[in-house]
Amino acid sequence: MLKIEGLEVYYGYVMALKGITFQVKEKTITALLGANGAGKSTTLNTISGLIRAKRGKIIYKEKEMTHEDSSRIVKAGIVQCPEGRMLFPSLTVKENLLAGAYNQTKRTSVLEDMEDVLKLFPILSERRKQMAGTLSGGEQQMLAIGRALMASPQLLMLDEPSLGLAPKIAEQIFDRLIMLNKERDLTILLVEQNANAALAICDYAYILETGKMGLSGKGKDLLQNPLVRQKYLGA
Amino acid sequence: MTMFLQQLILGLRGGSLIALVALGIVMIFKTTGVVNFAYGYMGMFSIYIAYTFLNTVGAPLWLSVTICIAFAFALGAAAERGLLRQVRHLSKGAMLILTLGMLMIFEGLALQIWKQDYRSFPNLVSGVRMITIDTGRLVIRNQDILIFIVAAAIMAGLFIYFKYTKTGLAIRATAQNENAAKLMGIKVGVIFALSWGVGVSLGAVSAVLAAPRTFIHPNMMLPLQIRGLTGAVLGGFDSLPGAVVGGILLGVIEQFMGAYISEELKMALSLLIILVVLLVKPSGLMGSKAIERV
């Protein structure tokens, strides 16, 4: 569904991505792992069109999207739920969700989508009229995912959805992601520092090491890999 | 009592104009993060367009004013797209300096094209109303009533627009987090240009309303721009309702200072009051706690 070929990205003169290649297959959960500063967020932001790639290609459904505008990328069905949530703090929960549906043209389907999201995260339903900034961390993450879902993604990219959350809440969020993947056939590209959790739920995983692609393989296999265990799982 | 009410009416008239200016400045600041110092001068330049259409071309007043406001919208949007967008990636400071440069350019251009003369501009509506009350008579110009109505209509219109339309929501979202807005597929460039267009047209509207009293000349909007900035600071600078409240309050305070204490010192005394307010409440009357420094 998504193919990244030899992607190179610079911040000024600093090379952040040194030609990475990977792919996300339709209806899978693909994880992109790595330590802080490995280039995970840079990868997602480049796919989303916030950062321009210097070299390499981003191919989505056989079409090259490398230098497309961010709004076109969202329209094509690639939606990112960014690191640190990045909600609109003084918009209400409902308004945040509506903002996510900015590119949807049919009012009825927007309302249906909102019902779906509120069913997925019932707590948001209670908080509908509250400012997003007043929500707890877990609720904010649910809202961020809900907002991304409102854009009707075919490929949902999540940047550190478990960051700063209590393990129990993080587990709930991962459960919802599995559900979205299994029941609605949503393709997911998951960026995580919590390698344990991510490897457990993903079909395939890639490990980034300071801008270069390191190991990759099936989630289950990587969980057993002694090198990965030692380096990323603290075992 | 009569004098008090009369001064209140005049204060509200002045305050409404200040509020319109403050509203435009705050709107541009909130969405694009830059204080537009050329604001009043863009309004001034636009009203020269109305003047030219009215007197040189001989167009009717309503048409001249419409063209002037449309011109201001285009001018604002073009300035954002053509100039400010180009330095946006550098810093907010760079954009700020650019607006100062624009101020000088518009002032210079107006001087070159229309010279320094004071030119008159008609009231949109003429006539005066008298209201008799127990203790005397109040005088209200029809133009002042129009100022109230226009200001109130614009404020209500903007409120509804921001609260209930999709584009309004997109503007508010962009103001709060530009990158997140991009990730929602919002074309933030269009939003920036739009806010500049609407903001600068508010400047043109206030110029049109103020011109019969200030006359048209290259620096006509300077006092109003300073007051607009002050009103915006008083209101909190990042709050649209704050801009309206701050602007109207400033107008009323100034009028009372002038009437009861000293006409010469009214500006200084008003600023003193604002200074005290800001010492007590640094975020302004309705502003949010932290405003990013530029």
- Report the pLDDT value the prediction gives residue B267, as an integer from 0 to 100: 83
B193 within some domain: yes
Compute the distance between CA of residue B74 and CA of residue B197 in angstroms, rounded to an integer.
6
Beta-bridge partner residues of A29 = A188
Q: A232: which 2 tokens?
A: 């990323």
Among A182, A103, A91, smallest CA distance to A113 is for A103
Q: B22: which 2 tokens?
A: 């403050």
Top residue of A88, A96, A97, A150 to mutate, by most chain B CBs within 10 Å, is A88
Q: What is the CA radius of gyration of chain A?
A: 17
From B166's Cα to the closest Cα of chain A, the distance in A is 7
pLDDT digits (tens, 9 = 90+) for B106-158: 999 999 999 999 999 999 999 999 888 888 889 999 999 999 999 999 999 99
Whether residues B184 and A87 touch (CB distance < 8 A) is answered with: no
Place of tokens 């309303």: B209
Whether residues B166 and A102 touch (CB distance < 8 A) is answered with: yes
**What integer best gives the mean pLDDT of chain B?**
92
Query: Which residues of B are less than 8 Å from A80 in CB distance?
Result: 183
From A29's Cα to the closest Cα of chain B, the distance in A is 20
- Report the pLDDT value the prediction gives residue B294, as an integer from 0 to 100: 42
Query: Which residues of A are less than 8 Å from B179 in CB distance?
Result: 50, 82, 86
Question: What type of residue is B246?
Answer: G
Asked if A164 is an interface residue toward chain B (Cβ–Cβ < 8 A), one would say no
Asked if B90 is an interface residue toward chain A (Cβ–Cβ < 8 A), one would say no
Whether residues B177 and A88 touch (CB distance < 8 A) is answered with: yes
Which among A90, A99, A147 has CB closest to B170? A99
CB B252 within 8 A of CB B259: no
pLDDT digits (tens, 9 = 90+) for B46-75: 999 999 999 999 999 999 999 999 999 999
Instruction: Give contacts of B 163-182 with A, CB under 8 A.
Output: 166, 169-170, 172-173, 176-177, 179-182
Place B265 in a pLDDT band, splitting at 50, 70 and 90: confident
Phi/psi of residue A59, nearest 5 degrees: -115, 125
**DSSP codes joined into one string, B123-175:** -SS--EEEEEETTEEEEEEHHHHHHHHHHHHHHHHHHHHHHHSHHHHHHHHHH
Q: Is the pLDDT of residue B203 over 60?
A: yes
Dihedral angle at the C-alpha atoms of B32, B35, B41, B45, nearest 10 degrees? 0
Chain B nearest-CA residue for A68: B185
Alpha-carbon A95 to chain mean position: 21
Top residue of A102, A105, A150, A191 to mutate, by most chain B CBs within 10 Å, is A102
Asked if B56 is an interface residue toward chain A (Cβ–Cβ < 8 A), one would say no
Q: A121: which 2 tokens?
A: 């995260």
10-residue averages of pLDDT along chain A (235 residues) = 95 93 96 91 95 95 93 95 94 95 88 94 94 94 96 96 92 94 95 90 94 92 87 73
From B163's Cα to the closest Cα of chain A, the distance in A is 9
| Three-class SS state of A156 | strand
Tell me which of B174 and B89 has the higher pLDDT.
Answer: B174
B257 within some domain: no
Strand duo A204-209 + B136-141: pairing = unpaired
B113 within some domain: yes
Asked if A102 is an interface residue toward chain B (Cβ–Cβ < 8 A), one would say yes
B293 within some domain: no
Share of chain B above pLDDT 90, in %: 80
B129 within some domain: yes
**CATH numbers and ranges of domains, chain A:** 1-77+153-235 (3.40.50.300), 83-152 (no CATH)
pLDDT digits (tens, 9 = 90+) for B154-169: 999 999 999 999 999 9
- Report the pLDDT value the prediction gives residue A188, as an integer from 0 to 100: 97
CB A34 within 8 A of CB A49: no
Compute the distance between CA of residue A34 and CA of residue A57 in angstroms, rounded to an integer.
22
Beta-bridge partner residues of B95 = none
Q: Which domain holds residue B82?
A: 13-220
Q: Is the pLDDT of residue B45 over 50?
A: yes
B205 within some domain: yes
| Three-class SS state of B216 | strand
Max Cα separation, chain A?
52
As a whole number, mean pLDDT of residues B13-35 equals 94
B261 within some domain: no
| Three-class SS state of A120 | helix
Dihedral angle at the C-alpha atoms of B161, B164, B166, B169, nearest 10 degrees? 80
As a whole number, mean pLDDT of residues B213-234 equals 93
Chain A nearest-CA residue for B185: A71
From A100's Cα to the closest Cα of chain B, the distance in A is 5
Helices (H) and strands (E) in chain A, counts: 10, 10
Whether residues B186 and A99 touch (CB distance < 8 A) is answered with: yes
pLDDT digits (tens, 9 = 90+) for A68-90: 999 999 999 999 999 999 999 99
ipTM for this model: 0.92
Q: Is the pLDDT of residue B271 over 70?
A: yes
H or E, element range at A59: strand A55-60
Question: How many CA atoms does the CB half-sphere of A181 hold within 13 Å?
Answer: 22
- Report the pLDDT value the prediction gives residue B293, as an integer from 0 to 100: 44
- Report the pLDDT value the prediction gives residue A231, as an integer from 0 to 100: 81
- Report the pLDDT value the prediction gives residue A106, as an integer from 0 to 100: 85
B240 within some domain: no
Q: Looking at chain B, which runs of residues are DSSP E strands?
A: 128-133, 136-141
Distances (CA, A) of B97 to A51, A104, B26, B100, B106: 26, 38, 17, 5, 14
From A163's Cα to the closest Cα of chain B, the distance in A is 17
Among A103, A82, A85, smallest CA distance to A189 is for A82
pLDDT digits (tens, 9 = 90+) for B239-251: 899 999 999 999 9
Q: Is the pLDDT of residue B292 over 80?
A: no
- Give me the number of domains chain B comprises: 1
